[in-house]
């Protein structure tokens, strides 16, 4: 049995596809006739899409794809490009250390994990995480913010405690960020979840932080020497990727 879908969203997707294919002939009446959608229903959907910049109406009353759609397309191209440039390094690091590898990006004080490579199907870290102070990628992101941005973030966010290792004072945060900037690597040891560590190294484009390559693993399966080797390999990979990303 197919999963149930939401009819209004199905219609909106159908309309967007129609506009993409018929941008010069996509007037309300034409869309209504071709897709067999009641004009009143169609008008409401079109107004909603227009309000969210997904479409716009030109001077001839034709509907066309809007800047929000273009932005989504560019973002996906950017993600695909970053992942492609990291693929060889992810595979090498995974084969060398047999740990979970990831690529993360940053936007609006959030970390988004766009690629995860792992043999452990029960450890799925894809998605968004907004706890910057307790994750390796998050702390790396903070370390690259302007000082005023960091100050505003720390003032606006409650530094939630996840484990006994979580950093929750501003003095500790600033000290940690200085260390990350100096070493070009971010590490968290059981700060977000007991039993796990992660490391993240910066990926730059035109000298700006655009992503991170990182590793996630069990603290029980790692010692100081392996951790140092991991950090060094991540830093090497991040430098090579950044050069290729110039």
**Domain containing residue 154: CATH number:** 3.30.450.40
Share of the chain above pLDDT 90, in %: 57
With a cut of 50, say whether residue 16 has pLDDT above it: yes
With a cut of 90, say whether residue 139 has pLDDT above it: yes
With a cut of 90, say whether residue 140 has pLDDT above it: yes
Residue 86 to residues 104, 148, 183, 211, Cα–Cα distance (Å): 11, 31, 21, 10
Task: Clarify whether residues 98 and 125 are in a common domain.
Answer: yes
Q: How far apart are CA 242 and CA 222, in angstroms?
A: 27
Task: Clarify whether residues 110 and 17 are in a common domain.
Answer: no
The answer to the question of residue 73 being in a domain is no
With a cut of 70, say whether residue 198 has pLDDT above it: yes
The answer to the question of residue 70 being in a domain is no
| Backbone angles phi and psi of 127, in degrees to 5 | 120, -155
Task: Clarify whether residues 134 and 45 are in a common domain.
Answer: no
Helix, strand, coil shares of the chain, percent, nearest 5, are 50, 20, 30
Residue 1 — pLDDT band, cuts 50, 70, 90? very low
- Strand stretches in 78-158, DSSP E: 100-107, 110-117, 127-129
Q: Which of 93-102, 123-132, 186-195 has the lowest mean pLDDT?
A: 123-132
Task: Clarify whether residues 39 and 115 are in a common domain.
Answer: no
Task: Clarify whether residues 21 and 89 are in a common domain.
Answer: no
With a cut of 80, say whether residue 120 has pLDDT above it: no
Q: For residue 148, what is the DSSP state?
A: H
Which of 78 and 199 is assigned the larger pLDDT? 199
Task: Clarify whether residues 26 and 106 are in a common domain.
Answer: no
* Residue 68: alpha-carbon gap to chain centroid: 17
Residue 20 belongs to domain with CATH number:
1.10.10.10
Number of domains composing the chain: 2
Task: Clarify whether residues 61 and 117 are in a common domain.
Answer: no
Task: Clarify whether residues 85 and 173 are in a common domain.
Answer: yes
Give the mean pLDDT of the chain: 88
Residue 185 to residues 210, 213, 215, Cα–Cα distance (Å): 15, 10, 11
Segments forming the whole domain that contains residue 240: 78-244
- pLDDT value, residue 128: 67
Residue 77 — pLDDT band, cuts 50, 70, 90? confident
Task: Clarify whether residues 105 and 22 are in a common domain.
Answer: no
Task: Clarify whether residues 94 and 143 are in a common domain.
Answer: yes
Instruction: Give pTM, 2 decimals.
Output: 0.75
- pLDDT value, residue 124: 46
Q: Which of 37-51, 119-133, 204-218, 221-235 has the lowest mean pLDDT?
A: 119-133
Residue 98 — pLDDT band, cuts 50, 70, 90? confident
With a cut of 50, say whether residue 83 has pLDDT above it: yes
DSSP per-residue string spanning 77-100: HHHHHHHHHHHHHHHHHHHHH-SE
Task: Clarify whether residues 61 and 136 are in a common domain.
Answer: no
The answer to the question of residue 71 being in a domain is no
Task: Clarify whether residues 197 and 91 are in a common domain.
Answer: yes
């Amino acid at each position: 049995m197919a999963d149930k879908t939401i009819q209004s969203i199905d219609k909106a997707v159908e309309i967007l596809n129609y506009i993409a294919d018929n941008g010069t002939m996509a007037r309300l009446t034409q869309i209504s006739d071709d897709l067999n959608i009641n004009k009143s229903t169609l008008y409401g959907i079109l107004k909603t899409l227009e309000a969210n910049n997904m479409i716009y109406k030109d001077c001839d009353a034709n509907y066309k794809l809007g800047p929000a759609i273009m932005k989504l397309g560019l973002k996906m191209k950017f993600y695909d490009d970053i992942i492609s440039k990291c693929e060889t390094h992810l595979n090498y690091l995974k084969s060398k250390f047999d740990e979970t590898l990831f690529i993360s990006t940053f936007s609006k004080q959030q970390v988004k994990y766009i690629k995860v490579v792992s043999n452990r199907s029960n450890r799925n870290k894809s998605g968004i995480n907004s706890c910057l102070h307790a994750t390796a990628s998050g702390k790396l992101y903070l370390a690259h913010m302007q000082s005023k941005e960091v100050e505003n973030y720390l003032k606006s966010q409650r530094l939630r405690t996840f484990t006994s290792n979580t950093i929750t004072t501003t003095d500790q945060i600033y000290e940690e960020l200085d260390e990350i900037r100096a070493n070009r690597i971010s590490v968290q040891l059981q700060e977000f979840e007991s039993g796990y560590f992660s490391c993240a190294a910066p990926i730059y484009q035109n000298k700006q932080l655009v992503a991170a390559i990182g590793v996630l693993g069990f603290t029980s399966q790692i010692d100081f020497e392996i951790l140092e080797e991991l950090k060094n390999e991540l830093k090497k990979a991040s430098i090579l990727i950044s050069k290729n990303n110039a």
